[in-house]
Amino acid sequence: MRNPIKQLIEFEGLPVLTPRYGEPYWYYMNYLSNNRNLLNAMLEQHSKVLSLRFDLRFPETACWEEPMSYLLKFLDLFRRWLVTCEFDPQYVIRMEQKTSINPHFHVALLLNGNKANEANSYYYKQVAEQTWENAVRTNMTGLVDYCDRDKLGYPLPEGILIVRPPERTGIKVQTTLEYQAAFKAVSYLAKYVPEDEIPSVQRKVFYSLCNR
């Protein structure tokens, strides 16, 4: 298997999402490795990295043909704004479809935390929502899940700011609580979902160019 799956409660010492009850989730090992590489690459370039999570959904009023074309339109518009702000945007995007006539997109966004303010995390997601509505040409609101609550309704942080410790401390950034929290949040995009209706031969996970 080119992208093996494995049941995990952690990945090489880093936490992954686990259910409150029952057996651990299955994960794509290659995607977890790529997620870590992307985080590390960003932290090599910036002493602070802001990690955000949100989901993009289509209106359920119709079946949206060629869904990837709308995602590409969204990325073109949203990245332009982020680059203008000098945020150096990098991302992981997972396409998934289950119990719906349309797929949806899970997005993990990494920004230069020296430019992007953690306190503005909610605002950045609002811009993403407005941009997505523009991309799909609709006035319908509520198409973006800000991923600010867990399945039981308990609040989650809008963003996670990872700070690279100074070299003189000898502390590895991977051991910080913020890095581990960000990796855990992004691990959702590497989870094996047996109910996913997207054919296995179709690409499901997309990385920005930083992950090379």
Question: What are the pLDDT digits (tens) for 61-118?
Answer: 888 899 999 999 999 999 999 999 999 999 999 999 998 899 999 999 999 999 999 9
- CB of 54 closer than 8 Å to CB of 144: yes
The reported pTM is 0.94
Segments forming the whole domain that contains residue 169: 5-207
Cα 59 to the center of its chain, rounded Å:
21
Percent of the chain at pLDDT exceeding 90: 81
Three-state secondary structure call for residue 53: strand
Tokens representing residue 184 in the block = 């855990």
pLDDT at position 209, please?
73
Whole-angstrom CA distances from 49 to 40, 173, 179, 204 are: 10, 11, 9, 25
Structurally, how many domains does the chain consist of?
1
pLDDT(154) > 50: yes
pLDDT digits (tens, 9 = 90+) for 162-207: 999 999 999 999 999 999 999 999 999 999 998 888 877 778 899 9
Q: What residues are paired with 57 via a beta bridge? A: 104
Three-state secondary structure call for residue 32: helix
pLDDT at position 20, please?
87
Question: Other CB atoms closer than 10 Å to residue 116's CB: what's the count?
Answer: 26
Identify whether 212 is part of a domain.
no
pLDDT at position 210, please?
60
pLDDT(211) > 60: no
